[in-house]
Amino acid sequence: MLSKSPFPGVTGPVALIVLDGHGVSANPAALGNAIAAASTPTLDRLFADHPNILLKAHGTAVGMPSDEDMGNSEVGHNAIGAGQIYAQGAALVAKAIENGSLWQGSGWQEIIAQIKANAASVLHLMGIFSDGNVHSHIDHLKAMLIQAGAEGVRRARVHVLLDGRDVPETSALDYIEPFEDFLAGLARDGLDARIASGGGRQVITMDRYEADWRMVERGWQTHVLGEGEFFPDCATAVRTLRARHPGVIDQDLPPFVIADAEGKPIGAIRDGDAVALFNFRGDRAIEITRAFDEAGFDKFDRKRVPRIAYAGMLQYDGDLALPKRFLVSPPAIRNTLSEWLSGSGIAQFACSETQKFGHVTYFWNGNRSVKFPLETWQEIKSDCVPCEERPWMKSAEIADALIAAIESGRYRFLRCNFANGDMVGHTGDFRAATLAVEAVDLALSRVLPVIGAAGGAALITADHGNADEMFELDAQKPRLNPDGSPKAKTAHTLNPVPLILYEPSGQLTLKTLPDAGLAHLAASVTQLLGLEKHPSWKPGLVC
C-alpha cells in the first residue's frame, strides 16, 4: 500500500493530458509557429490564469545521448510514466557499439554464424535511413556493415526506409550519395554491400498499432520478395519518383526495388539469409517483426516465407518476446506510475486514438503490452487518411471518451494523448497544423469544465515539440523551396514543453526546478492524489 502525503489531495479525479507535439518556442512570433498562429482561447486562458512552467522534453532529460538530440513520443511517454530517466534506445545502442558488447552478444553472433554457414547467404540490414536518431541512426548501420566485413561476411544488402520526418523533408539524397561512397570503400575491402530496396517510411513497412497492415505487406513485397518497380540504383529511384510525384516528400515516396542488368532484384531475402532490423525504437518495428518472427502469422499473405535468422536491434516488446533474437537489451523500466497506483487500488483510465494509443499504454507502462490491475484502456480508431486532410483527427472522440470516464465516477486517475500537433506537424502542412492545434484547444474547452465540476485537477503538458516549428529557419528567416514557398520542417524540435496546472480552487501552484522535465510528472500526479511517490522517482512539482 502507498502511504499518504502531507497534502490530502484533490477530492475528484486527476487527469494528465498530453498535447503531443506542442512545444514552446523562445520566439513565439517566429514564422512557422503553428501553435502561435492558431486561435487557442482555452490555452490562452490557461496560461493567463493558471500556474504554468516549462519542462525539458529532449536530450538527457529523457535519456537521449546528448542535449542535441530531440525528444520523441516513445521516450517522452517512458519518462512521464516511469517518473525516472532511463538510457534510451539511441544511447544504449551507441554504448553497445562503443564498448563492443553488441558484437559479443548472442544475437549478433547468431546472425553472423548463419551467414558464414553458407557461402551463398546474405546479411540484410533494414531500417530508417537517416541520422534522425528517433528510430535509428545511419552511423549504427555503418558500424554493423564494418563489423560484418571484419568478421568475414562477403555479401550484405541494405533496405532503406526514407525518412523526411525526423530530418528535413527532402534530404534523402544527402544520405544516399555519401553512403554509396561508403559502400564503395567496403567493396575495396571485400564486402559486396549494396542498397537493395526502399521506400517512404509512411508508405511501407513501418505501420504501428495495427493501423494499416497494408503498409507492412508492401514492405514485405518490396524487401523480401523483391517485387515492385525496378531501378538501377537508389539515387535514380529517388530522383525518378520525385519527378513523377511533385511535392511528395521523402516519407511518402513509393516503394522501389534495385535490380541488376538482367532485371533481377539484387536483394530479395531467401532461405539461409539473416535479417537485422536496425531500428531501436519499438512502436514501428513490431509489425514487420511479427511478419518475420511470429508463428502462425496471418495478417496478410506473405506468399513466400524464407527460413532466416532474424534479429531486432532491441527487443521491441518484452511481454510478447518480439523479436526472440535481439542485439541490444532494452532498458528494464520498473516501478512505473501505473504499477504504483495499481498497488494502492487506484482505478486508472487511458485513452488515445490508434496513432498514439501505445504511447499512453505500452510506452507509459515501461514498454509492457499488458495492463496492470484496475487499468482500463480505450482505443479510438484512427482514420486511415492523411492527417493533413483531416487535422482534427479524433480529438472530439477522445474528449467524448474522457468526459464519459470522468462522469462515470469510476476512475481516480485518467490520462490521454491528443496526437494532432505531432502527427499533423510531421506532414509539413502549416495550415493543417494550425487547424490541428485549434481542434485540440476546442477539445480542452470541453474536458476541463467536467474535471472542475467533479472536484478534480488536470496537468496539461506535451511529450516534445513539433508544431511549434513548421518551417526550416536560418537566422529567423525561412529557407525557401525553388518555387519561393517556405521549406517545411517535419521533425521534432528542441523546445521545452508546457506544464499547466488546472485546479479551479486556486490553492495549489507549481514550482520550478533547474532540471524540471517529463520525469517529474509521475510524482506530480501522486501529489494531486494525496499519495507519496515511489522513492526512485524524480520529485513532484506541485506545491
Decide which of 4 and 114 is more confident. 114
Write out the DSSP string of 165-187: SSS-TT-HHHHHHHHHHHHHHHH
pLDDT single digits (tens) 189-220: 999 999 999 999 999 999 987 889 999 999 99
Where in the sequence of the chain do the CATH 3.40.1450.10 domains occur?
Answer: 90-328
Which one, of 80, 49, 5, lies nearest residue 500 by Cα?
A: 49
pLDDT single digits (tens) 280-320: 988 899 999 999 999 999 999 999 999 999 999 998 876 67
Candidates 3, 39, 66, 73; catalytic one: 73
Of the pLDDT bands very low, low, confident and very high (cuts 50, 70, 90), residue 45 is very high
What per-residue confidence (pLDDT) applies to 476? Answer: 72
pLDDT single digits (tens) 390-435: 999 999 999 999 999 999 999 999 999 999 999 999 999 999 999 9
What per-residue confidence (pLDDT) applies to 1? Answer: 41
What per-residue confidence (pLDDT) applies to 72? Answer: 86
What per-residue confidence (pLDDT) applies to 4? Answer: 60
Sheet of 497-502, strands arranged across: 52-55, 497-502, 457-461, 14-19, 413-418, 348-353, 375-380
Place of cell 547467404: 121
Q: Which helix (DSSP H) or strand (DSSP E) does residue 123 occupy?
A: strand 123-128
What per-residue confidence (pLDDT) applies to 87? Answer: 86
**73 given a catalytic annotation:** yes
Q: From CA 50, how far away is CA 429, in angstroms rounded?
A: 31
Write out the DSSP string of 240-270: HHHHHSTT--GGGPPPEEEB-TTS-BS----
Range scoring the smallest mean pLDDT among 5-14, 42-51, 516-525: 5-14
pLDDT single digits (tens) 119-175: 999 999 999 999 999 899 999 999 999 999 999 999 999 999 999 999 999 999 999
Chain mean pLDDT for the chain: 94
Q: From CA 183, how far away is CA 189, in angstroms rounded?
A: 10
Is residue 451 helix, strand or coil?
helix
Q: From CA 290, how far away is CA 278, in angstroms rounded?
A: 15
What per-residue confidence (pLDDT) applies to 214? Answer: 97
Range 346-365 average pLDDT:
96
Where in the sequence of the chain do the CATH 3.40.720.10 domains occur?
Answer: 14-87+332-490+512-529
What per-residue confidence (pLDDT) applies to 30? Answer: 79
Place of cell 470522468: 406
Q: Is the pLDDT of residue 6 over 70?
A: no
Place of cell 482561447: 41
Range 50-78 average pLDDT:
91
Decide which of 513 and 321 is more confident. 513
Q: Is the pLDDT of residue 338 over 70?
A: yes
Decide which of 5 and 517 is more confident. 517
Question: Does CATH number 3.40.720.10 belong to domain 14-87+332-490+512-529?
Answer: yes
CATH fold for the domain made of 90-328: 3.40.1450
Which one, of 145, 114, 168, 158, lies nearest residue 310 by Cα?
A: 114
Task: Give pTM, 2 decimals.
Answer: 0.77
